[in-house]
Amino acid sequence: MAENISDVNEVKIEALDTFLKEFGEEATHCVCAPGRVNVIGEHTDYNEGFVLPMALPMVTVIAGKPNGTNICTIISASSAGTMSVSKAEFDISEPAAIKPGEPKWANYVKGCIVNFPNALAGFKAVVISTVPVGAGLSSSAALEVATYTFLEAITGQQASDPVQKAISCQKAEHDFAGVPCGIMDQFISVMGIDGHALLLDCRDKSVIQILMENLKDHVFLITNSNSPHKLSSSAYRDRRDACFEAAKKLGKNSLREVSLEDIKTLEKQGVSKVTINRVRHVINENLRTQEAMKALQTGDYKRVGELMNESHDSLRENYEVSSPELETLVNTARSVKGVLGSRLTGAGFGGCTITLLKEDCVSQVINTIKETYTGKATFYMAKPSAGARQLDCHR
């Protein structure tokens, strides 16, 4: 069976109750921001390419209250076991003096506070998340975007531009978590619309919202390998740097401006085979992602599945970000009749896969994976959900 994902309202009530228990009064503001799964378009965002994620029903909720001081007290609690229960306290009188430290989860909160463009207010708050940590479903972006949305709520200062909001949250991750991520995760967490996936052009930040009702009797299943991805490891940075270097060698701003023809020039310049493979992945992945958007719009899920398979194969061969666990999950899923496509999702090196399949084959896929996979896999149905929003404080 796929895991039961708590309804946003249940998580909200848990956060409100925890706030009351911890602080002895009622919270006045409550917000949530979702995790995401990427359907296709991997390692393209930092190359100014295309991505096609959807926001998930798993959310990070913050319930809190301004306290009229310059002190922020935040308790991270979680019945779902996604974050250890701990407390962070810091002074915001001089935001520039706020530095990353322990506990680590609070760095995402601090980073957003430092990057918030408007006047700040001290607060007490409780954070509860149902987004699994380290699974490649963007628990960190959910926390960043939830923090920013909470700051908007308590200060009454809404971001005038959602793109700027996503960029501020991305900067929090760069500066306070040391992860040089692209814009995809924060963007979908801000911009998700219920029932839609989103095609984002990471160069001009334009979006196309894709209504997912054309899927008819097909669904997306997420399988968590529970082998943690190590995004902050140098592997992500190395690949990003190789792409930047290749674009520079061709006199281009990014790989978005590079075509398959240009690979010949790189070969003549003596660029390594490894780098050329990275470039080949990015160019083809951009083409696949745009095609997948059209196929989703017309309900051609067979083609979507083929493109997902091609994406994964290229991530394994050219980008080298798969892992033995992900290979087992993808190959096992693909061996079941009714599966149209399966691929790793997110940065890779562990984390989750996403599989497009006929709805009536879900149990069979889950059972086959459970029989084959020696680790412990967990399963979630990827229901396209809404982006960050303020919630009422009613129980």
Supply the residues annotated as catalytic: 185
Instruction: Give the contacts of 315 (CB within 8 A, at least 6 positions apart).
Output: 42, 43, 281, 321, 322, 343, 344, 348
Which of residues 35, 57, 346, 384 is near ligand GLA by CB under 6 A? Answer: 346
Whether the ω angle into residue 384 lies within 30 degrees of 0, i.e. cis, is no
Question: How many Cβ atoms sit within 10 Å of the Cβ of residue 329?
Answer: 27
Which of residues 184, 197, 212, 219 is near ligand GLA by CB under 6 A? Answer: 184
- Name the one range near ligand GLA by CB under 6 A: 40-48, 67-75, 189-197, 219-227: 40-48
Site string for ligand GLA, 70-109 (x = CB under 6 A): ----------------------------------------
Residue 166 tokens read as: 């996503």
Orientation angle between helical segments 273-298 and 301-317, nearest 10 degrees: 170
- Could you give the 3-state DSSP secondary structure of residue 63? strand
DSSP-assigned letter for residue 375? S
Cα(19)–Cα(63) distance, integer angstroms: 7
| 384 touching ligand GLA, by CB under 6 A | no
Which of residues 92, 247, 347, 352 is near ligand GLA by CB under 6 A? Answer: 347
Which of residues 34, 64, 111, 182 is near ligand GLA by CB under 6 A? Answer: 182
| 185 touching ligand GLA, by CB under 6 A | yes
- 41-60 residues near ligand GLA, rule: CB under 6 A: 42-43, 45-46
Q: Which is nearer to ligand GLA, 346 or 384 (CB)?
A: 346
Estimate to the nearest angstrom the gap between the alpha carbon of 232 and the chain centroid. Answer: 14
Which of residues 181, 199, 308, 330 is near ligand GLA by CB under 6 A? Answer: 181
Residue appearing with tokens 């296709």:
40
Q: Which is nearer to ligand GLA, 144 or 306 (CB)?
A: 144
* C-alpha dist (Å) from residue 138 to 230, 327, 344: 13, 21, 14
| 144 touching ligand GLA, by CB under 6 A | no
Q: Which residues bind ligand GLA (CB under 6 A)?
A: 42-43, 45-46, 181-182, 184-185, 346-347
